[in-house]
Structure 1
């Protein structure tokens, strides 16, 4: 049903203004961002389809437009959005702008307080940056003496199975940022976030290298779409 055919009090924008954003379902909030539907499909129906669980063919490819909820949609890369019928340049720009605002809000929070005052925010921040990348990325969060975020850098890229990480480069960047501590991070494009023996070994190598310049490794976080693992919380550091 087109939004204009709904009772005024039930239309998402009017409902938000009258009752607050918490009163709206995810699809209603997304409909406000998208603003319009496409031929033969109202904006609420389009929003609901984007939030559905994605289908998969026998080869593991995506069938259907769903991203598995708000988190999956906001973590989608531009190429994924471009392949969805009904998401033209304007709608994609709106969604990407919302994603960037979310990233910046989380980054501001991490710059204003110690990262371990809000460990969930650290994982969310890394998920927004890394979780849905099609290739493996190794990143480092550089922290000051109060463990507040100075900068995050994506330092190395690899294939789905392996990333080459050079400890010397991590140490040099830590010195350039005058960092007192770091949080290491990488994504698993294939899905799960279980730490492999190689992940543990790499963490130990980097911890030893950074200790030589008095920089602590506080954690190594692994992210994938909808999942995250802290190696520190798992007792692997």
Structure 2
């Protein structure tokens, strides 16, 4: 039975219009974007199956195209639809974070950087550059690839900070594996960058390691 055969009060789109998006389950929201199921399977049933196979909504949206299309009924068109929806949500969260007068807590910075880096399939090292009031100047992605002492150069960090006339910085990089526990290399490069920026009186407020739906803060662990 397709969704069109369901009672009107049970259809996801009609429920959203009458009750609001917040009352819909993850599967119902996904079904609205998927639009169709396949061969006797409704969009809601397909969404439930996909969530079950992926393990979570975040894991499903974080899949590569190759992994996503191994789910029966999921093709590249549906992958593109969901990634576009995800990117709109990420940009909305980014705009809201940048509109704040200041990123004055690890939680505020975490929200912004989680939205920006948490979905990447490759490792990225980024700088969140702040002014003297800790307002966002810009987010700059400096390095891609394995984040270790051989690939992250403190002089490039200093050059970028000086160019932006930043007064403080938050370091951030993601772990595509989803595990956000910092490595010894992460701690070593953080100390090198902190020492280099101290020479130009720029503070490192935090280093955030971004995983899938989780984040580790160096500041909260007392490592800075």
Tell me the TM-score normalised to structure 1 length.
0.83
Unaligned runs of 5+ in 2: none
Structure 2 residue aligned with 1:31: 31
Alpha-carbon spacing, 1:2–1:161, altered in 2? closer, same or farther (3 Å): farther
Unaligned runs of 5+ in 1: 53-65
Between the two proteins, the alignment pairs up a number of residues equal to 223
Structure 2 residue aligned with 1:75: 62
Structure 2 residue aligned with 1:100: 87
1:145 is the counterpart of 2:123: no
| SS of the residue 2:104 aligns to | helix
State which of 173, 176, 180 in structure 2 corresponds to 1:189.
176
Contact conserved, 2:97 with 2:112, CA < 8 A, in 1?
no
For 1:120 and 1:75, locate their aligned partners in 2 and report how far apart those are by CA, in whole Å: 22
The CA deviation at 1:167 is: 0.7
Alpha-carbon spacing, 1:23–1:173, altered in 2? closer, same or farther (3 Å): same
Alpha-carbon spacing, 1:162–1:50, altered in 2? closer, same or farther (3 Å): farther
For 1:148 and 1:216, locate their aligned partners in 2 and report how far apart those are by CA, in whole Å: 14
Tell me the TM-score normalised to structure 2 length.
0.87
State which of 180, 188, 205 in structure 2 corresponds to 1:201.
188
For 2:178 and 2:82, locate their aligned partners in 1 and report how far apart those are by CA, in whole Å: 23
For 1:82 and 1:115, locate their aligned partners in 2 and report how far apart those are by CA, in whole Å: 38
> 1:85-139, CA deviations, whole angstroms, 9 ceiling, x for partnerless residues?
433343222212212112212221221221235x445324433433354433212
The CA deviation at 1:178 is: 2.1
1:170 is the counterpart of 2:157: yes
For 2:117 and 2:90, locate their aligned partners in 1 and report how far apart those are by CA, in whole Å: 11
For 2:121 and 2:108, locate their aligned partners in 1 and report how far apart those are by CA, in whole Å: 23
